Amino acid sequence: MKETKDNTSKIDCDRLVEPKNRQKRKYFSIAVCAGIFLIAYMLGADFGKFQPDYYFAHSITMSHLHRDGDFLQLLRTIPNSASGVFPLWLFGFFKGFQLHKIMSLCVFIGIVTIIWRATRLNMYGYYYLMALLLSPMMISATAWVLPEVFTLLTVVLVFMLTINHPNIAVLLSPLVPISRQTFIVHLAGRLFFRPKNTVVFIAMCVMATLALASLVYVWGGLVPPKLRGVHLTPSIKSPINALLIFSLYFTYHNVSLLNKMPINLKKLAISVGVGSILVWMGLHQPPLLGGGYIFSRIEAKSIILSGLIETLLLTLFFYKTKINTIVFIILASMSFITTNYMFLKYVDFYFFAFLAFGISDINERFHIIFTEYARSGFMFEMFSLLVAGMYYMHY
């Protein structure tokens, strides 16, 4: 069968040969995950203090951006929240938490719709959606109106459009950095997966860079002036912790490969060496001001145990993950170097935006690996939801 530009023929063929009972199981699984998501959303699940740390801060910014006066001056004097300028401005047209919560759910439904339509619920789309629906961070972010949910919508929309509507993708690409500054790394990072239309890729990066440069010009930096003391606190430990958290999303995939390939002693030695150096650097840095996920907690109890666990995770990550993925994850982790805080919620959105590469015009040979990454991410999100449920129910 001749491959079409948007790969529709290949996707439709896959669906035709898929047994009907398997399709039914997929729909049932999606329905169960969606049910879990909606119940937790309606109950206002707060897996990570989203209510006091995020919604309250973001609501101040929503109101501030709609005060009377010069908009550029309002933009310069944002009193709280260094991220999500565009979505917070949009949400600020409406008042009341319940309305904002409904709008946030509509944004999330938009993300699900785009992924479903772009993948026709093939195995990649199936695991991608189930991971999204079970993510405790995504549930809480939607329930408590985190602007990153809107940012993820802009990412999946722009990436989907690169295939059939590249010009629109270019026009919409500035929405990504003005929705969340650091997400520009996802536009640039597609380079490592060989986008088919190089001109469109470059144009998207240029447009997004200009949008980010406009914010930097208005603020005099990456964040508003009033927030530099909090959000510009450089730390080497933050990107190292981000890399450790990223490695958890790939652990299932990498473990499953251990018995499928012969041992490469040279690559293993390099992986152990690089992992050990990074862990040593991280353990010799001052503790983070906030966050760190399970790694900060283990470090507080036992430096030796944390060193062993972290070295093992990074060794596995460097040894079994594809080199282009490693390069992108390192780039994404380094984008956190300006902060001394590192929470799972930060990395969760980065990972889901990374998975969206699979619906863009990347080179065809990379599509299979994104199915495996989505499956691995789903496995981690099941574990994450279980742990988050037990931890936050206890507290």
- Does residue 157 sit in the same domain as residue 186? yes
> Contacts by 284-289 with C-beta closer than 8 Å and gap 24+?
285/235, 285/236, 285/237, 285/240, 286/235, 286/237, 287/237, 288/235, 288/237, 288/238, 288/241, 288/340, 288/341, 288/342, 289/233, 289/340, 289/341
- Does residue 54 sit in the same domain as residue 188? yes
- With a cut of 70, list the residues of the chain below it in pLDDT: 1-18, 52-54, 392-395
Asked whether residue 29 is domain-assigned, the answer is yes
Last residue in a domain, options 291, 316, 334 = 334
- Does residue 15 sit in the same domain as residue 162? yes
Other CB atoms within 10 A of residue 190 CB: 21
Write the DSSP symbol of residue 342: E
- Does residue 379 sit in the same domain as residue 352? yes
pLDDT for the residue 395 = 52
Q: What domain range is 180 assigned to?
A: 8-234+341-394
Give the chain's domain count: 2
- Does residue 310 sit in the same domain as residue 296? yes
pLDDT for the residue 21 = 82
Quick one: which of 310, 246, 305, 302 has its CA closest to 278?
A: 310
Asked whether residue 45 is domain-assigned, the answer is yes
pTM: 0.92
Asked whether residue 2 is domain-assigned, the answer is no
- Does residue 139 sit in the same domain as residue 211? yes
- Does residue 178 sit in the same domain as residue 260? no
- Does residue 87 sit in the same domain as residue 184? yes
Give the side-chain half-sphere CA count within 13 A for 317.
Answer: 27
Asked whether residue 194 is domain-assigned, the answer is yes
Asked whether residue 97 is domain-assigned, the answer is yes
- Does residue 209 sit in the same domain as residue 330? no
Asked whether residue 53 is domain-assigned, the answer is yes
Quick one: which of 63, 73, 50, 135 has its CA closest to 94?
A: 63
- Does residue 212 sit in the same domain as residue 294? no
Last residue in a domain, options 318, 334, 350 = 334
- Does residue 16 sit in the same domain as residue 129? yes
- Does residue 230 sit in the same domain as residue 242? no
Asked whether residue 264 is domain-assigned, the answer is yes
The span from the CA of 192 to the CA of 330, in Å, is: 12
Quick one: which of 307, 346, 309, 354 has its CA closest to 329?
A: 354
